[in-house]
Amino acid sequence: MSSLYVAPRRLGAPLSRAFTKNEPRRFISNMLNTPESHHALMSSPPAAEPPALSRMPTTTLIRSLLLTSCMSSEWIMRPSLAIMNLIVKSKSPLLNPDKNPILNKILRWTIYDQFCAGTNRQEVARSVAEFKKFGYQGIILNHAKEIVLSADAAKAIEAEGEKQYAPECYEMITKWKEGTLSTLPMLEKGDFLALKLTGAGPIAVDALRAQKPIPAVIQSALDEICHATAAQDSHLWIDAEQQVLQPGVDEWTIALMRKHNAGLSAPLVFNTIQAYLKASKANTERHIRLAAAEGWALGIKLVRGAYIEHETRSLIHDTKEATDAMFDDIADMLLTKRMPDGCGPDAQFPAAALFLATHNGPSTMLALETHMKRSRAGLPTARLECGQLVGMADELSCELVQNYEKCTREGTMSAAEVPKAFKYMAWGSVSECLGYLHRRAIENKGAVERTHQMVDALRKELWRRVNYEKCTREGTMSAAEVPKAFKYMAWGSVSECLGYLHRRAIENKGAVERTHQMVDALRRELWRRVVG
């Protein structure tokens, strides 16, 4: 009589394989080979969803764990920030990564390759392809060159007379435009181009500080960038600046949305709202009123804030909890299409899209839940997308990717409705990107709790992968991908090996705690076998 082999369902303890004979196989007679028995065998519970971080390559996981562990340590971060600040501000060729090849290599091996996309189009293309292969639905790309005003310059905002700018200032605008346009071919449909207006140089900075209209030469450059972005069905978001410049940035971006988002069902241009500013909700409501009254699509990128070290403290919320509450309230206002107070009864909420650029898991999940509930109930909501910086908050990013794949696989929402996961990447020379990296490091310096959460998540995932047999059995990784476990063995005559054993005994003489742990593990396994 033929038989059908069924593997034992109960898994032994880790030490159960040591010094035991092979257990006899269990068989089920083919008399049970009926439709009913087939159903019973096949209707076991579905395999658990693999951990969100399982899609990360092991090398990236290890590097992320090492760097994030350093970021969570104040005694490492403090001197690291001081060194970065010295390099960023130094005029010495010795401290210029683009002129010092040794410094360039050190920075690339440590931080650049973890947090940046590349120095040229070929390197960026490889990075973009790699992230989309992991399951991300899109990327945000930014040319990292930026200008940050000194504290003295930020205070000197009194209006000056008309300036006669040198030709070099106009050349900066041309180079900024060309650098931005050269970034566009690296993007695909649905991706975002991130733009810093201060990258255009002194003419832009002076006009923003004075809250003047967009100068004609910059308006021409911005129109060309907007048309090129629209032509390839990508999106443009305007990054936030220091508060001394931000009112001017808001006016310029509203002017761009008024011109390039008119009549669209989904916005081309997005403005950035910083929730750590006390006036952020009123600013958002103003955007909604203008878009509703003038008939253009509203695009909002919502962040907590990026320039806390440079801002006037009184403009910022007194506590992190107040910032969190403001962030969640603004997100809810857009997702529920809640009109601001004072609008007429016939006022209609404009076409809108919300991009959450945050590493905060609770805020992201709250917005995700609100959006998905409204979508499934057929209620109006803004389009929602989420993104995190490359090299950071990977546990949240991977969870968002997993949510997108699960929703589209189960068919609970259409692919167009499910919030997509993006990664924000800066590109440029090591020297250009170092200022960006320094600012990001300062921005995240206070987020110790979140960094510790990321370290814990990465450590758990690495430990899961080390457990080789469990991973391959569950099918979460192929046998070729999972780190393998080895045992070190010496061979030779008894006399030859005795010296080796003596040395090992001395080496492990002080490892009392580890020896006790092994004794406890062996004792538990022996007890398990005796009791059955």
Domain ranges of the chain: 3-44+487-531, 120-427
Average pLDDT over residues 481-503: 76
DSSP 294-338: HTB-EEEEEES-S-TTTS-GGGB-SSHHHHHHHHHHHHHHHHTTP
What is the pLDDT at residue 282?
A: 97
Q: What is the pLDDT of residue 36?
A: 44
pLDDT at position 522: 77
Encode pLDDT of 513-531 as tens digits: 667 777 777 777 777 776 6
For the chain, percent of residues with pLDDT exceeding 90: 51
Residue 46's SS3 state is: coil
Of 260-264, 449-453, 478-482, the one with minimum mean pLDDT is 478-482
pLDDT at 9: 39
Q: Does position 412 have pLDDT exceeding 90, yes or no?
A: no
pLDDT at 26 over 50: no
- What confidence score (pLDDT) does residue 532 get? 55
Q: Could you tell me the pLDDT band of residue 69, with boundaries at 50, 70 and 90?
A: confident
pLDDT at 28 over 60: no
pLDDT at 307 over 90: no
pLDDT confidence tier of residue 378, bands split at 50, 70 and 90: very high
Q: Which of 37-51, 203-217, 349-363 bottoms out in mean pLDDT, i.e. has the lowest?
A: 37-51
pLDDT digits over 313-330, tens only?
A: 899 999 999 999 999 999
Mean pLDDT lowest among 157-171, 220-234, 391-405: 157-171
Q: Specify which of 73-87, 257-271, 438-452, 505-519 reaches the highest per-range mean pLDDT.
A: 257-271
The pLDDT confidence band at residue 34, using thresholds 50, 70 and 90, is: very low
Question: pLDDT band at residue 480, thresholds of 50, 70 and 90?
Answer: low
Q: Evaluate whether 72 touches 455 at the Cβ level (below 8 Å).
A: yes
- CB crowding 61-79: b at 16 or more within 10 Å, else e: bebbbebbbbbbeeeebee
3-state secondary structure of 237: strand
Residue-wise pLDDT for 379-397, tens only, equals: 999 999 999 999 888 999 9
| Model confidence at 5: pLDDT above 60 | no
Per-residue confidence (pLDDT) for residue 482, from 0 to 100: 60
Does 56 have pLDDT greater than 80? yes
**In the block, which residue shows the tokens 């709790």?**
449
DSSP codes joined into one string, 505-530: HHHTTT-HHHHHHHHHHHHHHHHHHH
Range with the poorest average pLDDT among 53-57, 351-355, 403-407, 467-471: 467-471
Q: Convert the pLDDT of each residue in 143-152 to its tens digit.
A: 887 554 444 5
Q: Which helix (H) or strand (E) holds 448?
A: helix 448-466
User: What percent of the chain lies above the pLDDT cut of 70?
Assistant: 80
Distance between CA 252 and CA 526 in Å, rounded?
Answer: 74
How many beta carbons lie within 10 A of that of residue 222, not counting itself? 26
Q: Give 155's pLDDT tier (boundaries 50, 70, 90).
A: very low
Average pLDDT for residues 350-363, to the nearest whole number?
96
What mean pLDDT, rounded, does the chain reach? 83
pLDDT score recorded for residue 75: 83
Inter-helix orientation angle 320-335/361-376, to 10°: 20
3-class state of residue 480 by DSSP: coil
Check residues 413 and 25 and name the one with the higher pLDDT: 413
Indicate if the pLDDT at residue 484 is higher than 70: no
Reported confidence tier of residue 107, pLDDT bands at 50, 70, 90: very high
Instruction: Kindly report, residue by residue over 108-150, the tens digit of the pLDDT.
Output: 988 999 899 999 999 999 999 999 988 999 999 998 875 544 4
pLDDT digit string (tens) for 252-294? Answer: 999 999 999 999 999 999 999 999 999 999 999 999 999 999 9
* Strand pairing category for 116-118 and 420-427: parallel
Fold of the domain spanning 120-427: TIM Barrel (3.20.20)
Q: Choose the most confident range, by mean pLDDT, from 64-78, 166-180, 261-275.
A: 261-275
The answer to which of 36-45, 246-255, 493-502, 506-515 has the lowest mean pLDDT is: 36-45
Mapping DSSP to helix (H, G, I), strand (E, B) and coil, where does residue 147 land?
coil
Four-CA torsion 8, 10, 14, 19, nearest 10 degrees:
-50
So what's the pLDDT on residue 514? 67
- HSE-CB for 314 with a 13 A CA cutoff: 0
pLDDT of amino acid 470: 65
Q: How confident is the model at residue 29 (pLDDT cuts 50, 70, 90)?
A: very low
